């Protein structure tokens, strides 16, 4: 009996070690025991969802040693062994057939169990469960095969696409629309009425070509839109497509040029082939100067690929047969660099200027962009249009958008004049910074800005002051004085009289003059650097371009005389060294004359400038009307001359 108990104890310890060993081996997760992991997960879920059920299952477990003892005591009536699971289900005496059988974990070899069963003649039965290890192994192998096949298919597809891209490398990349869905009409384009009138006949030809062909008229094959950036050239091309309702090809000039020679020319051929198939249609080439620059220019030769592309473009444009309904519209802001063969009749034989808008144009643009903006009743678009000379359509759109952003940031319901003014200052001057502390720097900034504003107010030919402020802006701007460049006072892009240019030079030197009069020549600072550069440029233009000096009405330089790809690299000087010295003396004479005039005005109104500086230091910003009202209390304001009075 003792030997039997000892043997049972040994078997019990062996079973515990076997369980620990199988637990450590399970970390490897053999494929043939994968179903055990799933069973463990199911059991764990059942344990979390129902504790009592798990408790009942735990109560039905029996150790191997307890089984041997029960068999020896004759309390076991039936044993069902599952070799695959290595478990045995045991029914004890007194249990009903409906009661759950006890579960015992077995070893791989159980000779003592078989001996006990034979000795006690226990009902012994082997009931193997379904072994899914082979099926699981097959499924895993099939999964690996499918993954390998999938990777091979992806590699094959990429190889096919790369071959297709290689075959389509010379195809045109133009965005194509069978119908004009640009959503832009002529009513959405404002400020360029003259350009719209010129392009109305293009729309009419696309809609009713028989009206022109009946009398033998031919529509221009190419229309070149020329103008500064942001004036609406691309928008105008979209409006033409929207009005005509014909197929619309859109491509950029840079998309023709590639590193491989011949690709650009192939794309040009493909583009025009597609255009002829869908005639009548519009082909829009944006930034055509990227491919249409002058051939043979530059040091060391030109770009062979770009020149071949341009040659193909010239050939295709000249190869149109009659009025086939294909119209080329191109846009550029550098017409001076285009090849002359591109501009001859039969190609781009019509040039439409899309210039910066005038007052009426700016008002129309503001009305278009203000449709979806919530403006306050006090906001006047006419005032905004007068305050923004030189703004393009893109600038005006950005202006209203910045004002809307500031309104949302300040949690207001509508856009007020404050947001409009801040948006204008942010676009033209820069981001507002913290005010300067009360120091000598702040006082000098105040005298500098008041010097500009006072000189401008006292001169009859100067632009009216709009605002004076000493609030610093980003970019190193300590303060600024802005002016209203009224169209009737002639803006910087139109006609300018000699009196107006001299007044602008005098006003630009007003800040330096105030510093010199108040603090002395030794205390002037670098704040007038940009003013002096502006003065030098204006004075030199008066001498060399406009004949407004003692040298007489002689143009000594050419406007926009820029070196383009070496074309003017070796060009000779347009005047002698002796004439260059005379030009320098005339430029200095104009600058010194205006500087002395500024100092005289500051010196004669010293008491007034001190009063204005005190008010500016207190308020930090003085509007133009208030500034003129204060000056009018001390001196008589001159009458601002209009163009008709000059």
Question: So which residues are the catalytic ones?
Answer: 449
Tokens of 509: 């030197």
**Residue 420, Cβ density class (10 Å: 0-12 exposed, 13-18 middle, ≥19 buried):** buried
Tokens of 500: 């107006």
Distance between CA atoms of residues 315 and 338, nearest Å: 16
Q: What are the Cα distances from residue 119, in Å, to 72, 289, 622?
A: 9, 106, 117
* Residues contacting 152, CB < 8 A, separation 6+: none
Tokens of 598: 């500024």
At residue 546's C-alpha, the angle toward residues 551 and 563, to 5°, is 105
Q: What are the Cα distances from residue 429, in Å, to 14, 217, 329, 450, 478?
A: 88, 51, 36, 18, 11
Q: Is the dihedral of CA 588, 594, 597, 598 positive or negative?
A: negative
Q: 3-class DSSP state for residue 250?
A: strand
Distance between CA atoms of residues 69 and 457, nearest Å: 119
DSSP conformation class of 436 = P
Tokens of 162: 């790369």
490-495 LR contacts (CB < 8 Å, sep 24+): 490/643, 491/389, 491/390, 492/389, 492/390, 493/356, 493/390, 495/643
Angle between helix 606-619 and 624-632 (nearest 10): 150
């Amino acid at each position: 009996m003792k030997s039997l108990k000892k043997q049972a104890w040994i078997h019990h310890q062996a079973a515990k070690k076997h369980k620990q060993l199988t637990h450590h081996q399970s970390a490897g997760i053999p494929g043939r025991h994968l179903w055990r992991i799933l069973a463990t997960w199911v059991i764990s879920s059942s344990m979390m969802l129902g504790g009592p059920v798990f408790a009942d299952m735990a109560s039905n477990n029996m150790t191997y040693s307890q089984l041997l003892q029960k068999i020896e005591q004759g309390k076991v009536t039936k044993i069902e062994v599952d070799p695959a699971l290595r478990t045995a289900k045991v029914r004890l005496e007194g249990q009903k057939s409906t009661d759950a059988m006890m579960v015992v974990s077995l070893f791989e070899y159980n000779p003592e169990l078989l001996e006990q069963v034979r000795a006690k003649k226990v009902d012994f039965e082997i009931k193997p469960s379904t072994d899914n290890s082979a099926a699981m192994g097959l499924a895993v192998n099939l999964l690996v095969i499918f993954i390998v096949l999938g990777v091979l298919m992806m590699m094959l597809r990429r190889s096919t696409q790369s071959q297709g891209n290689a075959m389509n490398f010379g195809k045109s990349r133009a965005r194509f629309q069978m119908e004009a869905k640009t959503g832009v009409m002529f009513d959405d384009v404002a400020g360029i009425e003259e350009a719209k009138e010129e392009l109305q006949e293009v729309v009419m030809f696309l809609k009713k070509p028989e009206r022109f062909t009946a009398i033998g008229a031919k529509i221009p094959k190419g229309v070149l839109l020329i103008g500064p950036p942001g004036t609406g050239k691309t928008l105008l091309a979209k409006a033409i497509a929207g009005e005509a309702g014909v197929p619309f090809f859109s491509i950029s000039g840079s998309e023709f040029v590639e590193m491989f020679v011949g690709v650009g020319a192939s794309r040009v051929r493909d583009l025009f082939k597609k255009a002829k198939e869908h005639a009548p249609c519009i082909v829009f080439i944006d930034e055509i100067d990227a491919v249409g620059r002058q051939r043979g220019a530059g040091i060391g030769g030109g770009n062979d690929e770009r020149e071949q592309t341009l040659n193909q473009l010239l050939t295709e444009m000249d190869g149109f047969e009659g009025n086939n309904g294909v119209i080329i519209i191109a846009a550029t802001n550098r017409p001076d660099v285009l090849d002359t063969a591109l501009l001859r009749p039969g190609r781009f034989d019509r040039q439409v200027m899309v210039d910066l808008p005038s007052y009426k144009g700016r008002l129309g643009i503001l009305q278009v962009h203000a449709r979806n903006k919530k403006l306050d009743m006090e906001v006047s678009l006419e005032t905004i249009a007068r305050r923004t000379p030189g703004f393009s359509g893109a600038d005006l759109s950005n202006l209203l958008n910045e004002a809307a952003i500031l309104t949302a940031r300040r949690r207001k319901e509508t856009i007020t004049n404050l947001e409009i003014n801040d948006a204008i200052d942010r676009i033209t001057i820069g981001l507002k910074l913290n005010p300067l502390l009360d120091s000598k720097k702040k006082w000098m900034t105040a005298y500098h800005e008041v010097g500009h504003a006072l000189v401008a107010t006292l001169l009859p030919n100067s632009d009216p002051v709009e605002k004076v402020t000493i609030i610093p802006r980003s970019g190193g701007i300590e303060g600024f004085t802005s002016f209203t460049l009224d169209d009737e006072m002639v803006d910087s892009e139109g006609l300018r009289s000699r009196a107006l240019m001299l007044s602008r030079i005098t006003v630009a030197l007003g800040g330096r003059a105030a510093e010199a009069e108040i603090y002395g020549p030794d205390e002037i600072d670098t704040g007038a650097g940009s003013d002096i550069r502006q003065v030098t440029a204006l004075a030199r233009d008066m001498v060399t371009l406009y004949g407004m000096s003692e040298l007489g009405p002689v143009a000594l330089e050419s406007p926009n005389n820029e070196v383009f790809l070496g074309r003017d690299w070796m060009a000779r000087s347009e005047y002698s060294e002796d004439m260059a010295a005379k030009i320098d003396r005339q430029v200095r004479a104009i600058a010194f004359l205006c500087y002395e005039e500024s100092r005289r005005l500051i010196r004669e109104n010293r008491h007034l400038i001190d009063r204005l500086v005190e008010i500016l230091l207190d308020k930090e910003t003085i509007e133009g009307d208030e500034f003129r009202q204060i000056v009018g209390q001390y001196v008589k304001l001159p009458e601002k001359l209009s163009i008709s009075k000059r």
